[in-house]
Amino acid sequence: MNEVSQDELLFVPLGGAGEIGMNLNLFAYGEPDDHDWLMVDLGVTFNDGSLPGVDLILPDPAFIEERRDRLLAIVLTHAHEDHLGAVPYLWPRLRCPVYATPFTATILKRKLAEVDLLDEVEINVVPLNGRFSIGPFDLELITLTHSIPEPNGIALRTPLGTVLHTGDWKFDPDPVVGPTADEDALRRLGDEGVLAIVCDSTNVFSAGDSGSEGDLLESLTEAIGECSGKVAVACFATNVARLETIAKAARANGRDVVTAGRSLRRIEAASRENGYLEDVAAFIDEGDAGFLPDDKTLVICTGSQGEPRAALSRIAFEDHPNVTLGDGDTVIFSSRVIPGNEAAIGRLQNQLIRLGVDVVTWREKRVHVSGHPARDELARMYQLARPKIAVPVHGELRHMCAHADLAKECQVEQAVVAENGSVVRLALGEAGVVDHVPSGRLSLEGSRLVPVESEILKSRKRTMWNGFAVLTVVVDREGTLISRPKISSTGLFESEHDPSCQRALDEAEAAVERLGSLEARDDDRTAEAVRLAVRRYFRDSLGKRAVTTVHVVRIP
């Protein structure tokens, strides 16, 4: 009697489901507890200001790290930071081959070189529309369009059915850089039969379509033509099509193009290495910007999201070594606002206006189109691929739920909404969330990775909001104070002469004097008594739960 196969096909997101950014997607095939695993994308997100001292936040790969002997590969859909930015930091925990198209591979190699991993990571370069096998997965790259060269959907064929993982995409009839989306391949895939689609939800609330990159040339040319002084255009460095559009609009207005920001120079080099920007003259280095007349200058800047270390923020706060802006100059924000960045962008724009700079955004003029599909494009994707199951990703929960409703309107049999850590069974049996696995976030804290919920960051946040104090208490063998306690603090007093500071020291003295003879001879009990007394004073008098530490120095 033949045994019935118990193989199953699973989808497990550890990042990018229930949020926009920080993508980490896992597919599993095989018998329960004996799966082969494939990872699609491994990205980062950026600190929204809630974690002091942290720039990058990464998905916690602990679940798949425990199974890395069965992790076959990482396949990258494209080169945006939220899809590959975590590879240099997390690959040492995973140690598996990486697959990417040429432009994406070039970007990744530069990142790996910065952390001395270039010679360790096996990078397999796959051509556009390439087809290859990894274990039980037969993969085909499907060319789509997005705000970066070489965005790919991935058709993952397995014995239990085909899954279309879209990555980030749109349908752009004139993408400026690269070919249009391969709708014929999507239609053929639909004819063949698609079990499930894992699909971008970012713009599900936007009606119509997202607009074409090609349509921006005329509007950007017009917007730049209305400016008299220097013009700076802020955009995402990886939007190579936008770089080309801006350069052409600048040339039409007799302006030379300067790039400000290290990531822009990297992207330009990677683009030219892979045959992009061929019709665009080399950009001028920011060090030479001062030699150009104001009305002949256009500066492309990083920092459209208000990032404090990016070029535009440094220019706005007059901290940039080469580029300045002031009265009569204009900054055009050729980008969307990523949810969570509104406050940072507002601060940046206010500072620019304070300098006398005119600020232009998509609200005033057509200076940006999104790289993600609006509702009509999503409906078109469902018409082409005709999946039985829809699994929305790359969105907050509200985006994914709205996307699930849209999928059902498009006659999809099932829609599964699953946040990070959900185990989604796609086959065999009815699709749905069947389990949950650990998922979380890591922060790049200096040169190390620590959990976002670690005591290191919790203490830092407490210190940031409540201040901290370190007291030194000097006593003799019997526990009698030899001198008045000393205090060092941050965020609590104007100076050591502050009356509140002196009262805190009074509380420390009183706490020592209240100790019994046995407690007074014990350093730990003395320290704890002083700590509690001083903390109580901070809470009752200052309204602060300050982080308080006490050192006892005992003189024989």
Cis before 292 (ω within 30)? no
Q: Is the pLDDT of residue 3 over 60?
A: no
Q: For each of the domains in the chain, give its residue range(s) and CATH number, in order of start.
A: 8-208+370-451 (3.60.15.10), 213-360 (3.40.50.10710), 467-555 (3.10.20.580)
Q: Is the pLDDT of residue 157 over 60?
A: yes
| Residues with Cβ within 8 Å of residue 124, at least 6 apart in sequence | 73, 97, 98, 99, 100, 132
pLDDT of residue 308: 84
Residue 53's pLDDT band (cuts 50, 70, 90): low
Six-digit token pair at 531? 């700590």
Mean pLDDT along residues 527-554: 91
**Around Cβ 135, how many Cβ atoms within 10 Å?**
15
Q: Is the pLDDT of residue 286 over 60?
A: yes
pLDDT of residue 149: 96
Six-digit token pair at 350? 């206010």
CA distance 467 to 98: 45
pLDDT of residue 491: 84
Cα separations (Å) of 529 from 475, 512, 540, 549? 14, 7, 17, 11
Six-digit token pair at 498? 């502050």
Of 50-59, 158-167, 253-262, the poorest mean pLDDT is in 50-59
Q: Is the pLDDT of residue 135 over 80?
A: yes
Mean pLDDT along residues 173-201: 97
pLDDT of residue 300: 97
How far apart, in Å, do the first and last CA atoms of the chain sit? Answer: 86
SS3 state at 550: strand
Q: Is the pLDDT of residue 188 over 80?
A: yes
What is the C-alpha radius of gyration for the chain, rounded to an integer number of angstroms? 28
CA distance 211 to 208: 9
Six-digit token pair at 152? 């790919």
Six-digit token pair at 482? 């030899």
pLDDT of residue 166: 98
Six-digit token pair at 537? 């004073």
pLDDT of residue 5: 64
Q: Is the pLDDT of residue 129 over 80?
A: yes
Give me the percent of the chain exceeding a pLDDT of 70: 97
* Cβ atoms 536, 542 nearer than 8 A: no
Q: Is the pLDDT of residue 193 over 90?
A: yes
Q: Is the pLDDT of residue 507 over 70?
A: yes
pLDDT of residue 241: 95
Mean pLDDT along residues 10-27: 96
Taking each continuous run of H as one helix and of E as one strand, the counts in the chain are 16, 30
Instruction: Kindly write down the DSSP assignment for every residue of 17-42, as one continuous string.
Output: EEBSS--EEEEEEEETTEEEEEEEEE
> pLDDT tens, 391-423?
999 999 999 999 999 999 999 999 999 999 999
Beta bridge partners of residue 174, listed in sequence order: none
Q: Is the pLDDT of residue 1 over 50?
A: no
Residue 314's pLDDT band (cuts 50, 70, 90): very high
* Side chain identity, residue 477: R
CA distance 379 to 375: 6
* Cβ atoms 27, 135 nearer than 8 A: no
- Match 């494939």 to its residue by tokens: 38
Mean pLDDT along residues 528-538: 93
Q: Dump strand ranges (E) for 289-357.
A: 297-301, 330-333
Rounded to the nearest 5 degrees, what angle is found at the Cα of 339, between the Cα atoms of 333 and 340? Answer: 100
Residue 462's pLDDT band (cuts 50, 70, 90): confident
- Express the helix, strand and coil content of the chain in percent, nearest 5 each: 35, 30, 40
Give me the percent of the chain exceeding a pLDDT of 90: 81
Q: Is the pLDDT of residue 454 over 70?
A: no
Cis before 444 (ω within 30)? no
Nearest to 59 by CA among 100, 6, 17: 17
pLDDT of residue 75: 98
Mean pLDDT along residues 85-100: 97
* Averaged confidence pLDDT in the chain: 93
pLDDT of residue 48: 62
Alpha-carbon dihedral angle through residues 321, 113, 108, 71, given to the nearest 10 degrees = -140
> pLDDT tens, 208-251?
999 999 999 999 999 999 999 999 999 999 999 999 999 999 99
- Measured N-to-C along each axis, helices 183-192 and 375-385 cross at an angle, to the nearest 10 degrees, of 50
CA distance 354 to 352: 5
Residue 448's pLDDT band (cuts 50, 70, 90): confident
Residue 49's pLDDT band (cuts 50, 70, 90): low
Mean pLDDT along residues 452-460: 72
pLDDT of residue 339: 72
Cα separations (Å) of 97 from 8, 190, 527? 24, 30, 53
* Cβ atoms 518, 493 nearer than 8 A: no
Q: Comparing 245 with 57, which gets the higher pLDDT? A: 245
* Cβ atoms 152, 146 nearer than 8 A: no
Q: Dump strand ranges (E) for 203-355.
A: 231-234, 256-260, 284-285, 297-301, 330-333
The number of CA neighbours under 13 Å toward the Cβ of 461 is 11
Q: Supply the pTM of this predicted model.
A: 0.87
* Cβ atoms 501, 488 nearer than 8 A: no
Dihedral sign (CA 250, 255, 256, 260) = negative
SS3 state at 54: coil
Of 68-77, 199-208, 489-498, 513-522, the poorest mean pLDDT is in 489-498
Rounded to the nearest 5 degrees, what angle is found at the Cα of 364, between the Cα atoms of 358 and 370? Answer: 115
Q: Is the pLDDT of residue 2 over 90?
A: no
Nearest to 302 by CA among 340, 257, 256, 335: 335
Burial group, residue 282, by CB count within 10 angstroms (0-12, 13-18, 19+): exposed
| Residues with Cβ within 8 Å of residue 74, at least 6 apart in sequence | 39, 40, 41, 42, 87, 91, 94, 96, 97, 98, 99
